[in-house]
Amino acid sequence: MENIVLDSADRRILAVLQEQPEISIAELAPLVGLSQTPCWRRMKRLQEVGVIAGRVWLLRPEALGLTVNVFAQLKLKQHDEETLEALESRARALPQVVECFSMSGDGDYLLRVVVASVSDYERLLKKVMLHLPGVASVSSSFALATVKGTTKLPPD
């Protein structure tokens, strides 16, 4: 993605949208100091250039019985392009994997996995994760509590 230049009006729009994602253009425009048409054009441009990636409803995992957060650090046997692409593709396809990061340091990938129980994670680990392309080892850490969880990005 190219380096996008955002002015103060764009940043105001983004700040309001993070707080009030369901706000209408008619309500948003005066809050950011624009009329409706220029506000709509800016939002459209922010979507087209990829600053606004989409809209979602955020669900509370515990309300759905998904009470276990696991951070799994994967170390790979080999680091060729084919293995990396295959692992990333498989990780994207696993619904329990809600985030996957390519890492520097000791581990090669860090996955955040959300499941209903430790035994569910154990099954996933044994049947799927240890068999992902190129995986040499998996080190798992279980979150005790979520101290902060947000999708809001900092303003600058």
Token output for 26: 């008619």
pTM across the whole model: 0.87
Q: How far apart are CA 141 and CA 138, in angstroms?
A: 10
- Full strand arrangement of the beta sheet holding 109-115: 97-102, 109-115, 68-76, 135-142
In this structure, what are the phi and psi dihedrals at residue 5, rounded to the nearest 5 degrees?
-95, 120
Q: What is the residue-level pLDDT of the chain in tens, covering all 156 positions?
A: 568 899 999 999 999 999 999 999 999 999 999 999 999 999 999 999 999 998 888 999 999 999 999 999 999 999 999 999 999 999 999 999 999 999 999 999 999 999 999 999 999 999 999 999 999 999 999 999 999 999 999 887
Instruction: Give CA separation, 155 vs 11, 128, 150, in Å.
Output: 7, 39, 14
Residue 114 has a CB neighbour count (10 Å cut-off) of 20
Q: How far apart are CA 137 and CA 72, in angstroms?
A: 10
